[in-house]
Each structure stands twice: as C-alpha cells, then as structure tokens.
Amino acid sequence: MLGSPIAHSKSPLLHRAAFAELGMESSEYDRFELRADELEGFLDSHPDHIGFSLTMPLKDRLVTLAVERGWNVDDTAALTAAGNTLVRRSGQVEVANTDVRGIVRAIAPRMEASPDANSGAGAGRATILGAGATAASALVACRDLGIAHVDFRVRNPDRARRVIDLAERIGLTASVGDLTRIEPSAIVISTLPAEAAPDPVWDDSLTPGGVALDVAYSAESAFLAAAAAHGLHPVDGTAMLVEQAVAQFEMFLDAARAEDPSTAENLPAADDLSARVAAAMYAALAGPPARAQD
C-alpha cells in the first residue's frame, strides 16, 4: 500500500485476510508512506514486488508516470486520469483503477433489488458530491450503471471542469451546483471526506428505491442517515472499499500466477475464489482475527 497519509488504511487488513482465507502463507502485504514525488524512485527501487495498491496523493501521478514510461493503462484509469493499482506481469507493467468497479459492485445489487429505482423524478440521474479523482471514478461508474445525467455538487465550481469534460467524453450530460441542495436522483454519491460532509437540503421528490453511497467509511455518516430518511438505500463506504480491493486482489493473483504457475495450485475456481475473498474481507472489517491486523 502506497500513499500519504496511510496509517488509517484498511487495505493491509483486507488483503492479509484474503491471503489467510486462501492459505497463501508466504504472501505479504505492507504499507509505505510516499509523496507523489517519491513514487517513481520507490517503484524503481522495488523491482521484485508484483503489485501495489495506491491511494492519494499518488493516483494522478501513477497514470502520468505510466504514460511517460509506456506502461499499459486500462480504460478506467485512462478515462479518470487516476490509478489505484499497479501490477507487474510477464515483464509488462499494468495500471488500473479498480475504484470504478468497486462503486459499481457496491451499488448495483441495491438497484437490482429496488424495482422503483428506475422510475420517478430522478430516474436516470445521479448526484455526485465533490469533483476530485474519486468523483471521476464515481462518474464512470454511474455511466456503467445506466445513468444519463450527473449533477455535481461542489464548493468551488471552477474545480469541476475535469469531471464535466469527462462526462462529455463518455456520453453523459452534466450540471454543476453548490452543496446546499440535492435534487431528485436515482443515485447519490458523496466523494467528500467525512470531516467535510455538508448538510444539504434533500429534495422531497427523490427517487423511491434509489441508492446513496458514502465513499468515506466513517463509523457514523450523517450523509447516509439523511439519505435513508429521504427513502434512499444507504450503502456504507466499506462496500466500495472491499469490492475495489477484491478487484485488486484478482489482479495481484493473476500476476503471481504468470510469474509462478504453482501459485494457482489448490485455489478455488474464479467465481468461488472471488466470493471467498470478498467474504473474508468483509469478515475482517467486522471483527478481524489477530493475524490480519497491523
């Protein structure tokens, strides 16, 4: 795990829980505190590491570095100009953004379980609070979830240019407003840190059966409490955290298999493996065993 600050990161807990579930006793997952200007030197000095998870402030720098060096950049990282995963496979370096997949996997089951989510005043519409790297990932996820219009709610409209341009590139319409009000929406996503969460007025005609996701995985979310009070299904940020980590783990495991085919011995088939990894990660967050803690 690379980034700064990362002392609070739950990624080591999640990945170590997955290693334990699959009996991968020799695998390790550690954290390293890094600034953006230290990333290139760190990667060069650790050539034997198969993969890395990255968080702020490294996500933008990772994609820039990948372009400079001719590494493979997946569609989501290229679109969002942000990457949270690097793997080395068969002499190639691959950069990805699994946050998009994490958001989709966190929200989709709730929408599928709510037949009213695609009807009402906010059908086909999403509201995203914030306009940074995570908001860009949320925007691409909304496209994948069938959303046609995204309303960005921000403190500084000038900072929304990045996501407005991205919306146009991926075929969505977009608008920008301040953080004082949330209009009718099938999906509402807060990408703001817990300490920066606003207290907006929620429109009374919000879509019944809609979904609200708070990417900040704080113990108490006033944003989610307000969303639930207005009829939306609240999704805690731990769902996105786990689902993006499962996607990362799958990439790390594929890279390890490419280097050493024996890594795949005695492991379950792909679908069962992903389900077991996800279950182990969720269980670790609920009450991690001692071996999975830092």
Domain contains 292: no
The answer on 229 and 106 residing in a single domain is yes
pLDDT band at 49 (very low <50, low <70, confident <90, very high): very high
Rounded to an integer, the average pLDDT of 286-291 is: 48
Does 293 map to a domain? no
Task: Give the domain range for residue 114.
Answer: 101-235
Q: How many residues does the chain have?
A: 294
Task: Specify whether 105 is located in the same domain as 185.
Answer: yes
Does residue 79 form part of some domain?
yes
pLDDT score, position 294: 28
Mean pLDDT of the region 133-148: 96
Residues 207 and 175 in one domain: yes
pLDDT tens sequence across 201-243: 988 766 667 999 999 877 688 999 999 998 899 999 999 999 9
Whether residue 293 is predicted with pLDDT greater than 60 in this model: the reply is no
SS (H, E, C) the chain: CEECCCCCCCHHHHHHHHHHHCCCCCCCCCCEECCHHHHHHHHHHCCCCCEEEECCCCHHHHHHHHHHHCCEECHHHHHHCCCCEEEEECCEEEEECCHHHHHHHHHHHHHHCCHHHHCCCCCCEEEEECCCHHHHHHHHHHHHCCCCEEEEECCCHHHHHHHHHHHHHCCCEEEEECCCEECCCCEEEECCCHHHCCCCEECCCCCCCCEEEECCCCCCCHHHHHHHHCCCEEECHHHHHHHHHHHHHHHHHHHHHHHCHHHHCCCCCHHHHHHHHHHHHHHHHHCCCHHHCC
Say whether both 231 and 244 belong to one domain.
no
Asked if residue 71 has pLDDT above 70, the reply is yes
**47 & 157 share domain:** no
Answer whether residue 132 is part of any domain. yes
Total tally of structural domains belonging to the chain: 2
- Kindly state the average pLDDT of the residues 85-103: 95
pTM of the shown model: 0.90
Domain end, chosen from 235, 254, 276, is at: 235
Residue 35 has pLDDT above 80, yes or no: yes
* Residue 288's pLDDT band (cuts 50, 70, 90): very low
80 and 106 in a single domain? The answer is: no
Average pLDDT over the chain reads 89
In the prediction, which pLDDT does 258 show?
85
What CATH number is attached to the domain comprising 74?
A: 3.40.50.10860
Choice between 145 and 204, residue whose per-residue pLDDT is larger:
145
Mean pLDDT check: name the lowest of 51-55, 149-153, 229-233.
229-233
Does one domain contain both 93 and 145? no
What does the pLDDT average to over 104-123? Answer: 75
- In this prediction, residue 121 has a pLDDT band, given cuts at 50, 70 and 90, of low
Instruction: Reply yes or no on whether the pLDDT at 51 is more than 80.
Output: yes
Whether 209 maps to a domain, the answer reads: yes
Q: Contact 162/223 with Cβ under 8 angstroms?
A: no
Task: Please state the rounded mean pLDDT for residues 149-178.
Answer: 95
In this prediction, residue 42 has a pLDDT band, given cuts at 50, 70 and 90, of very high
Inside any domain, residue 107: yes
Structure tokens at 247: 């996607």
**pLDDT for position 292:** 30
pLDDT at residue 118, as a whole number: 57
Task: Give the domain CATH number at 194.
Answer: 3.40.50.720
Most confident of 113-117, 122-126, 250-254, 258-262: 250-254
Regarding whether 252 and 222 lie in a shared domain, the answer is: no
- Based on the fold, state whether residues 123 and 51 are members of the same structural domain: no
